[in-house]
Structure 1
Amino acid sequence: MRKRLQERLVTLTGLITLEVALAGLFFLLAFGVFFYLTRIVFVQHSTAFDNWAFGQLDALRAATPGLTDWVRGITFFASMPFLVAAALLIPGFLLWRQQRREALMVFLAVVGATVFNQLLKLHFQRTRPSSALIPQPGLSFPSGHAMIGSSLYAALAWLAWRHGQRGVAVGLLVWAALIGLTRVYLHVHYATDVTAGFAAGIVWMLVLRTILRWRRGLGQPG
């Protein structure tokens, strides 16, 4: 019995160490990508990547005109009305299921990313593309749809993964990436805005998971 317990502890320690190492690696990569993009956009003033992305998606739109209506529908699923509803209804459902920690994570994923995104936009003060296909107020860098949407769907993907629904988890992450592409397709964001939004969303989710794990380790409820 004692030997079996020791083996389980060793296995658990190894998993925790691997998880921490992977989280740290993803944090550094995401932070590095975000920092690199700020250099590209605000120091070097390079538009090569943005122009290339616009060109690719403009060609797609020209080849398939009916796609635009679908893109408008997809982009709604990270719009502010949708995110507000998701931040209230999904945690409410999880609380009803007695899943307090999960409810808190989803709520903070959206609210924290929203606050963080607005602070970043106010700092960088990048205006939106003048060629936008739909009216869109506000600043451009980083994309809120990409950053807040990826935070929400990453939180839901984590919940799905924990319950063994690996395909659903991957699908949610792909869906978040697709939403980001719609912003470039509609010319309401540059590709650098969207990429930076994804990177910042990853950073926020890793910080949030660390905080919640630390809080749980202190014996706080939830």
Structure 2
Amino acid sequence: MKRKSFSARLTTLVSFLTVEILLVSGVFVAAALLFFYLTRVVFVQHSVTFDQWAFQQVDRARAAWPALTEVMRVVTFFASLPFLVLAGVGIPLGLRMREKRREAVEVFWAVAGAALCNQLLKTHFHRLRPSSALLPQAGLSFPSGHAMIGLALYGCLAWLLWRHRRHPVWATLLLLWALLIGLSRVYLHVHYATDVLAGFAVGLVWLILLRTALRLWWREKQQVEG
């Protein structure tokens, strides 16, 4: 019985060794290394060169197009706490009503898990927000919650669209939207660029871990039920 169980688990693991999984593994490693590198730059080297350069670029854009500030205020709302609570509960409920239980679980944990992880990381690193913020914002800075949780939400939705081979263009647009939300945080000076990059990196790591864990769990559950 134990030998059969081990063999079944091994078969499940080997079935994951596809081109898709190898590609995802590469993204996972790259994202984890990027996050580690950013922590070294910010908290060990105490370098602000990249952050200052990023602020200079967005300040030039603001000076050239003043109306862009209001646009960025609207964009940043779509990864704010009220919106994420609504989306993190409303979208899974909508999916459950359409009898898409697995997709509902993925979206819920993508948002909830990323939010919890983000708070733990912020508490650990305890980096203060930029003093030049255009939009008053409470809380800590590293990594950016908007970037991390936003990428988790929109990245999860993009993956679901891609997996079902429906509207790949929309999947791409969702990812670009998540990137724009991250940019809005730098534009509004509520986060440093390193905060946003770190948020994107950890958001990717979380999505890949969640997706892998759920896939393994569902396969094992099917084998037990079978």
TM over 0.5: yes
CA-CA distance at 1:123 after TM superposition? 0.3
Q: Residue in 1 aligned with 2:205?
A: 203
SS of 2:18's equivalent? Answer: helix
| 2:169 is the alignment partner of 1:140 | no
Q: Residue in 2 aligned with 1:150?
A: 151
**Which AA in structure 1 matches 2:196?**
V
**Which AA in structure 2 matches 1:191?**
A
CA-CA distance at 1:162 after TM superposition? 2.1
CA-CA distance at 1:19 after TM superposition? 1.8
1:2-23 superposed Cα distances (whole Å, 9 cap, x missing partner): xxxxxxxxxxx88852122112
CA-CA distance at 1:206 after TM superposition? 0.3
Q: Residue in 2 aligned with 1:41?
A: 42
Root-mean-square deviation (CA, aligned residues, Å) is 1.3
SS of 2:150's equivalent? Answer: helix
**Which AA in structure 1 matches 2:195?**
D
1:64-112 superposed Cα distances (whole Å, 9 cap, x missing partner): 0011111100000000000000011100010001100000000000000
Which ranges in structure 1 are unaligned for 5 or more consecutive residues? Answer: 1-12
CA-CA distance at 1:130 after TM superposition? 0.2
CA-CA distance at 1:163 after TM superposition? 2.8
Q: What is the alpha-carbon distance in structure 2 between the residues aligned to residue 18 and residue 163 of structure 1?
A: 18
Q: Residue in 1 aligned with 2:120?
A: 119
| 2:198 is the alignment partner of 1:190 | no
SS of 2:190's equivalent? Answer: coil
| 2:83 is the alignment partner of 1:82 | yes
Q: What is the alpha-carbon distance in structure 2 between the residues aligned to residue 93 and residue 199 of structure 1?
A: 28
Q: Residue in 2 aligned with 1:28?
A: 29
SS of 2:154's equivalent? Answer: helix
CA-CA distance at 1:154 after TM superposition? 0.5
Q: What is the alpha-carbon distance in structure 2 between the residues aligned to residue 213 and residue 88 of structure 1?
A: 21
Q: Residue in 2 aligned with 1:100?
A: 101
**Which AA in structure 1 matches 2:198?**
A
The list of structure 1 runs, each at least 4 consecutive aligned residues, that deviate by more than 2 angstroms after superposition, is 13-16
**Which AA in structure 1 matches 2:101?**
R
1:102-134 superposed Cα distances (whole Å, 9 cap, x missing partner): 000000000000000000000000000000001
Q: Residue in 1 aligned with 2:171?
A: 169
Q: How many residues are aligned here?
A: 209
Q: What is the alpha-carbon distance in structure 2 between the residues aligned to residue 118 and residue 108 of structure 1?
A: 15
Matches within 5 A, 1:3-22: 16-22=17-23
Q: What is the alpha-carbon distance in structure 1 between the residues aligned to residue 91 and residue 15 of structure 2?
A: 33
